Homo-oligomer: A and B are copies of this chain.
Amino acid sequence: MDDFAYMRQAMELAEQAAALGEIPVGALVVQDATGEVLGRGYNRREVDHDPTAHAEVLAIRQAALAIGSWRLSGCTLYVTLEPCPMCCGTIINARVRRVVFGAYDSKAGSADSVINLFALPYNHKPAVTGGLLEDACKEQLQRFFSGLREK
């Protein structure tokens, strides 16, 4: 499986968020050595009444439970939207080796847009690929927001 195939899976997870009326963001954590998906998440902030229930956090927590360790140093995170400061911090804390994101987020994105938190002197710096399937991920978000406006 390549980056594009995993990102398409993350986009499918984002559709599950949209179906709940949540902003459609999806994420998955893949074990680099095996290609196995260890964690999946989609935005559930409203339904769970949980400010931390972003796709990335849920996927990372599930993956850490799956391997029985908070250290995901052999893993890649795929997410349809540039991570916010909370999610960038979670990526740092979990020592995620590599991050691949789709659309950029000019308001909260913290892997490039508002700031690049991964360039600061914390104790871990993941590799980052931004803008993978950018247009498709952006359209998925825009479709959701134009649907809201029509209601």
Q: Is the CB of B51 within 8 A of A93?
A: yes
Copies of this protein in the assembly total: 2
Q: Is the CB of B94 within 8 A of A90?
A: no
* A interface residues with partner B (beta carbon < 8 Å): 45-46, 49-54, 57, 60-61, 64-65, 67-72, 84-90, 92-95, 107-108, 110, 114-115, 117, 120-123
Chain A interface helix/strand/loop/mixed:
loop
The distance from the CB of A60 to the nearest CB of chain B, in whole angstroms, is 6
Give the docked Cα–Cα distance between A102 and B69 (Å): 28
Give the docked Cα–Cα distance between A45 and B68 (Å): 11
Contacts of A45 in B (CB 8 A): 70
Known: A45-B70, A46-B70. A85 touches B122 (CB 8 A): yes
Task: Give the 9 A-B CB pairs with smallest separation, nearest first.
Answer: A86-B89, A85-B89, A51-B94, A51-B70, A51-B93, A86-B90, A89-B89, A49-B68, A86-B93
Q: Is the CB of A85 within 8 A of B88?
A: yes
**Of all chain B residues, which has the CB nearest A65?**
B49
Q: Is the CB of A52 within 8 A of B60?
A: yes
The distance from the CB of A139 to the nearest CB of chain B, in whole angstroms, is 23
Give the docked Cα–Cα distance between A88 and B122 (Å): 14
